[in-house]
Amino acid sequence: MDIEKSRILIVDDEKINLKFLADLLQEDYTAMLARDGRKALQLARQTPQPDLILLDVAMPGMTGFEVIKELKHDDETKHIPIIFVTAMDSTEQEEEGLKLGAVDYITKPISPPIVKMRVRNYLDMQHKYKLLEQKANLDGLTEIPNRRFFEEVLGREWQRGKRNGSSLSVAMLDIDFFKQYNDHYGHQKGDIALQTVARNITYSLKRAPDYVGRYGGEEFVILMPETPLKPALIVAERIRSGIEGLKIPHACSSVSLHLTVSIGVSTSNDYTESGPQVLIQRADQNMYKAKQSGRNQVSGG
């Protein structure tokens, strides 16, 4: 099976420089090319995003310094590392670029071995950093995103929805009578049940943008970007029935002989509200409505 290559965005207004760097790196990486700053911003915001940007400083229309300012002020692109490639031999220029967020400088005329080594070393370091970051963002038991990281993703999707004017839906899920389950079957069985529910929710989400996190205890939260209320309710019902269909015995439940969940759904189209926590609060309220109405059901509005 082929291993996906790291993506490098090369930005230079000189065609010969683009070709030189692309030819130099294409054996080991996937090269994305831009001849001006606006095109660079467009490619940086695409999915999948580049893993590294090699950015020329002196370009007409929009300089490399202007490009990096825009990238670093955008939550979607601020994490992408940038190496400036420049013919300038000025300590002041280099200091300015590093202050703006560049991780390194490569000077022209370009030395192929130096470019290859710096790119490889930096991407290796990034890979190790991402592994550590991913581990810190996961819930230790269920191995799905934890609450802190979920709220970061929610904040980004809120801003994206605000820009695009699209619907954003959230579902809050709680396992019915989970304390009684733990008391009766023991915490080891309870942990296994939490892991099974987390996997089932993940498998029930059919779209790549949809996202699940463990919110705490037996509560899970599902994020559905660009999803109006009606489709979000359909997804929530699929999750509810899927978990019920697992037929995990629950002798102490007054709802069913098996483990069940209650789910509340909330959708926002009005981004004049105070922030994404409003969505969470409404989904939580709807989840309690589902509980008050008998549990093992979905409530939303």
Residues recognised as catalytic? 218
- Of the CA atoms within 13 Å of residue 210, those in its CB half-sphere come to 20
* CA 221 – CA 90 distance, rounded (Å): 51
| Cβ atoms of 30 and 8 closer than 8 Å | yes
Q: Does residue 7 sit in helix, strand or coil?
A: strand
* CA 158 – CA 89 distance, rounded (Å): 42
Give the strands of the sheet with 211-216, arranged side by side.
Answer: 211-216, 219-225, 168-175, 261-268, 298-300
Distances (CA, A) of 152 to 16, 156, 160, 164, 280: 41, 6, 13, 19, 13
* CA 91 – CA 256 distance, rounded (Å): 71
Angle at 24 between CA 18 and CA 25, to 5 degrees: 95
Q: Does residue 101 sit in helix, strand or coil?
A: coil
* CA 67 – CA 65 distance, rounded (Å): 5
